Chains A and B, each alone.
Chain A
Amino acid sequence: MSTTSKPKRTRTLKVDYLARVEGEGALYIKIKGDTVTDAELRIFEPPRFFEAFMRGRMFTEIPDITARICGICPIAYQMGASYAMEDACGVSVVGPIRDLRHLIYCGEWIESHALHVFMLHAPDFLGYQDVIALAKDHPDIAQMGLRLKKIGNDVMTMLGGREIHPINPRVGGFYRAPSRKELNTLVEDLTWARQASIDTLKFTATLPFPDFEQDYEFVALRHEDEYAILEGRLVSNRGLDVPIHEFLDHAYEEHVPHSTSLHAAMKGRGAYMVGPLARYNLNFDKLVPIAQKAALEVGLGRECRNPFKSIMVRSVELIHACDVALDLIENYEQPPRPYIDVKPRAGTGVGCTEAPRGICWHRYTIDDTGIVQDARIVPPTSQNQKVMESDMRHFVEQNLDLPHDDLQWQCEQGIRNYDPCISCSCHFLKLHVERE
């Protein structure tokens, strides 16, 4: 790489349609001399207006509708909506039904993380356009990734009926609870998957990482007894520690011209990060011992501020999800009824769960017959938009000497660090880098 002095000029980097992300977005970066004057993540995914058309629907229909926000993480949307409705109606789901929720959510984490680690993110580090090219040179790695992903899907299919838009979850629990015997059929594969996840972490630890650490505010759910997925308080490394109901007292969303996704920020502090890195830094102590041990053994440490290393953190979470899934199956007792009754009453309820990409927050107001009066959803990708833009700004300023094509590719990779789900956030991705 050349470090000779550069002429003072303005240039642009642009990616018109970001690949290997879920949804439609572009990246636009304008550089003047050594300074990035503009870094915009342009989201042009057409808006679909979920919050508007959920008004007037019956509260029991909402989990089926919110699932359609995202084909990659439908469970996150079904669970957030279900918890919010149960909160509004004054009931809570505990015991084996909650365990089944935890289990199907582990399935979604395994599927989504395996998809991202192997098919969307790993090709960047090794210089391949996609997993198919990667598979030609590294067939064992590609096969391992595909099998891991399939096992996540198998967990979702067993509990949900199908992996995309599962039909079994409902407000109050499930339509049908599986028998112990049915769940036991998953044990052999999940046991393989737990070991494969450890191997995945060892593989990702060998990847070349740019030296890029940032000082982030991390926000995640925190739960007393577990690495929070379903429930918890909202906490951050800068003093946030509130019940989920108070989220909007501390965070706000704004609408910017270049995005059909709203941008979220913390009042008085600005950008914050949600997702695997946030969870890992805030809740390392709650990971299962086997995941903690594997992370420390590959030298990841208890804290990680390099977003490129999110691929390692996702691998740690893969280990965690497989181990928790096995534990849930081992201790499962089929409930007498697969759901609890939820009677509508007028009120407002809030639900917040850890989608694979970070906290996904829901709030609904219903009337006494159960008809939705108001709906509000804050998806993970809209919360990460500001951080993604500031990462781009700092990354480009540190790497101005890179040849244009390399810089552009690394910027795309820098966006994929967040596994952005543009369909979800609307509300996402092309890269357009302008240098004058």
Chain B
Amino acid sequence: MPKKKAPRKPKLAVWKFASCDGCQLSLLDCEDELLAIADAIDIAYFPEATRAVVRGPYDVSLVEGSITTSHDAERIHKIRRASKHLVTIGACATAGGIQALRNFQNVNEFISLVYAQPQYIETLKVSTPISYHVFVDYELHGCPINKVQLVEVLNAFLNNRRPVIPSHSVCVECKRQGTVCVMVAHGTPCLGPVTHAGCGALCPAYNRGCYGCYGPNDSPNTTSLADRFEHLGLDHAGIARSFRTFNANAAAFRHESEAHEHNI
């Protein structure tokens, strides 16, 4: 029988921009699956985990973090060119992250507040998601992402299918789990109705309102929810702050926070 050549393993690269490293850590947090994943794919570039570097092109690039420097704005284009599929992971890469709070203020004031020698610091005025700069094949939301969903996305792209990730709201997850609604039962402001599912509706299960770390869901009615928050006693500043956290720059959340900011 002729010897069959082993199929080439798909090449995975993991890239970092402005971020906390938490989303790429999710891959290392797949303790039970990690060695099997490393068996099925070639981890070609992943500096947090390995010194070894395999040249591109890469079958799948996972991109963590947001663009905040002109150097990074150029680097992302090189990564796009070297990647067959580019998947962004986490709130920084998909929406700009917590560092996008600068987008609402003057970044020069920020620099002088943190650094004694502002002239050493080079940064852009705004923090932007990766999709603002290059075409993105898939966005996986969350601050941090859900590692089970990450494995699903990798699996899907390596097998040429679309990932199965629900885009409904956190409310649906609560109902499925039988978690009592914290807003209805306790009057606790909760972003669940407008927030993308994926975390497993953790916060309400721990007796607190959702704070929107997975960003807006598909068709969020943020205005209606903000009205409800007002009835629950939040002032405009409080409402603006609640939409202005880890996905502050996601369009639906940004518009809602700006609407209330103007009423403060």
**Residue ranges of A at the interface with B (Cβ–Cβ < 8 Å):** 17-24, 45-53, 55, 57-58, 61, 64-65, 68-72, 74, 115, 119, 123, 129-133, 135, 142, 146-147, 149-150, 153, 161-165, 167-168, 170, 175-176, 254-257, 260, 262, 409, 412, 423
The answer for the CA separation of A21 and B51 in the assembled complex, in Å, is: 10
Selected from A61, A135, A147, A254, the residue in CB contact (under 8 A) with B241 is A61
The answer for the CA separation of A69 and B20 in the assembled complex, in Å, is: 6
The answer for the CA separation of A409 and B34 in the assembled complex, in Å, is: 25
> A residues within 8 A CB of B121?
47, 260
| CB nearest to B25 among chain A residues | A71
Selected from B29, B203, B246, the residue in CB contact (under 8 A) with A161 is B203
Q: How many contacting A-B pairs (Cβ < 8 A)? A: 176
Contacts A132-B43, A161-B202, A164-B25 given; does A49 touch B34 at CB 8 Å: no
CB distance from A21 to the nearest CB of B (A): 7
A-B contact sample (5 more), CB < 8 A, given A47-B68, A115-B28: A45-B18, A52-B109, A71-B19, A149-B31, A161-B203
B48 within 8 A of A: yes
| CB nearest to B49 among chain A residues | A130
> B residues within 8 A CB of A135?
35, 38
Please tell me if the beta carbons of B144 and A71 are within 8 angstroms of each other in the complex.
Answer: yes
Please tell me if the beta carbons of B202 and A72 are within 8 angstroms of each other in the complex.
Answer: no
> A residues within 8 A CB of B51?
19-20, 123, 129-130, 409, 412
Selected from B18, B20, B48, the residue in CB contact (under 8 A) with A19 is B48
Q: Please, what's the 1-or-0 string for B47-74, where 1 marks a CB less than 8 Å from any CB in chain A?
A: 1111110000000000000001100100
Residues 195-249 of B at the A interface (beta carbon under 8 Å):
199, 202-203, 205-208, 211, 213, 238, 241, 245-246
The answer for the CA separation of A13 and B99 in the assembled complex, in Å, is: 34
> A residues within 8 A CB of B34?
132, 146
Please tell me if the beta carbons of A162 and B202 are within 8 angstroms of each other in the complex.
Answer: yes
> A residues within 8 A CB of B18?
45-46, 48
The answer for the CA separation of A22 and B98 in the assembled complex, in Å, is: 18
CB distance from B218 to the nearest CB of A (A): 23
CB distance from A126 to the nearest CB of B (A): 13
- Residue pairs across A and B with Cβ atoms less than 8 A apart, 15 shown, are A21-B48, A46-B72, A49-B102, A50-B114, A51-B114, A52-B102, A71-B23, A130-B50, A132-B35, A132-B49, A147-B31, A150-B32, A255-B117, A262-B115, A262-B116
Selected from A17, A132, A164, A256, the residue in CB contact (under 8 A) with B29 is A164
**Residue ranges of B at the interface with A (Cβ–Cβ < 8 Å):** 16-26, 28-29, 31-32, 34-35, 38, 43, 47-52, 68-69, 72, 97-99, 101-102, 105, 107, 109-111, 113-117, 120-121, 123, 143-144, 199, 202-203, 205-208, 211, 213, 238, 241, 245-246
> A residues within 8 A CB of B120?
255-257, 260
Please tell me if the beta carbons of A22 and B48 are within 8 angstroms of each other in the complex.
Answer: yes
Please tell me if the beta carbons of B245 and A65 are within 8 angstroms of each other in the complex.
Answer: yes
| A-B CB proximity, top 4 nearest | A71-B22, A130-B50, A52-B110, A129-B52
Selected from A49, A129, A163, the residue in CB contact (under 8 A) with B99 is A49
The answer for the CA separation of A199 and B127 in the assembled complex, in Å, is: 46
| CB nearest to B104 among chain A residues | A53
Greatest chain A CB density within 10 A among B35, B110, B114 is at B114
| CB nearest to A115 among chain B residues | B28
The answer for the CA separation of A64 and B202 in the assembled complex, in Å, is: 14
Please tell me if the beta carbons of B31 and A46 are within 8 angstroms of each other in the complex.
Answer: no
Please tell me if the beta carbons of B113 and A68 are within 8 angstroms of each other in the complex.
Answer: no
Contacts A46-B69, A53-B102 given; does A132 touch B38 at CB 8 Å: yes
CB distance from A140 to the nearest CB of B (A): 12
The answer for the CA separation of A142 and B205 in the assembled complex, in Å, is: 34
> A residues within 8 A CB of B213?
165
> B residues within 8 A CB of A50?
98, 114
The answer for the CA separation of A127 and B35 in the assembled complex, in Å, is: 19
The answer for the CA separation of A165 and B50 in the assembled complex, in Å, is: 24
Please tell me if the beta carbons of A167 and B202 are within 8 angstroms of each other in the complex.
Answer: yes
| CB nearest to A142 among chain B residues | B35
CB distance from A409 to the nearest CB of B (A): 8
The answer for the CA separation of A50 and B49 in the assembled complex, in Å, is: 26
> A residues within 8 A CB of B241?
57-58, 61
The answer for the CA separation of A53 and B106 in the assembled complex, in Å, is: 11
> A residues within 8 A CB of B105?
53
> B residues within 8 A CB of A167?
202-203, 206, 208, 211
Please tell me if the beta carbons of B113 and A146 are within 8 angstroms of each other in the complex.
Answer: no
Please tell me if the beta carbons of B114 and A72 are within 8 angstroms of each other in the complex.
Answer: no
CB distance from A174 to the nearest CB of B (A): 8
Please tell me if the beta carbons of A153 and B115 are within 8 angstroms of each other in the complex.
Answer: no
The answer for the CA separation of A74 and B29 in the assembled complex, in Å, is: 14
Please tell me if the beta carbons of A423 and B52 are within 8 angstroms of each other in the complex.
Answer: no
> B residues within 8 A CB of A22?
21, 25, 48
Contacts A49-B111, A175-B207 given; does A423 touch B35 at CB 8 Å: no
Please tell me if the beta carbons of B98 and A20 are within 8 angstroms of each other in the complex.
Answer: no
The answer for the CA separation of A21 and B205 in the assembled complex, in Å, is: 34
| CB nearest to A70 among chain B residues | B20
The answer for the CA separation of A18 and B16 in the assembled complex, in Å, is: 13
Contacts A53-B110, A262-B115 given; does A146 touch B48 at CB 8 Å: no
| CB nearest to B67 among chain A residues | A46
Please tell me if the beta carbons of B116 and A165 are within 8 angstroms of each other in the complex.
Answer: no
The answer for the CA separation of A175 and B35 in the assembled complex, in Å, is: 36
The answer for the CA separation of A53 and B32 in the assembled complex, in Å, is: 38
> B residues within 8 A CB of A57?
241
The answer for the CA separation of A70 and B116 in the assembled complex, in Å, is: 23
> A residues within 8 A CB of B69?
46
Contacts A53-B101, A146-B31, A165-B143 given; does A70 touch B21 at CB 8 Å: yes
Please tell me if the beta carbons of A254 and B123 are within 8 angstroms of each other in the complex.
Answer: no
> A residues within 8 A CB of B117?
255, 257
Please tell me if the beta carbons of B211 and A64 are within 8 angstroms of each other in the complex.
Answer: yes
Please tell me if the beta carbons of A175 and B208 are within 8 angstroms of each other in the complex.
Answer: yes
CB distance from B241 to the nearest CB of A (A): 7
Please tell me if the beta carbons of A47 and B47 are within 8 angstroms of each other in the complex.
Answer: no
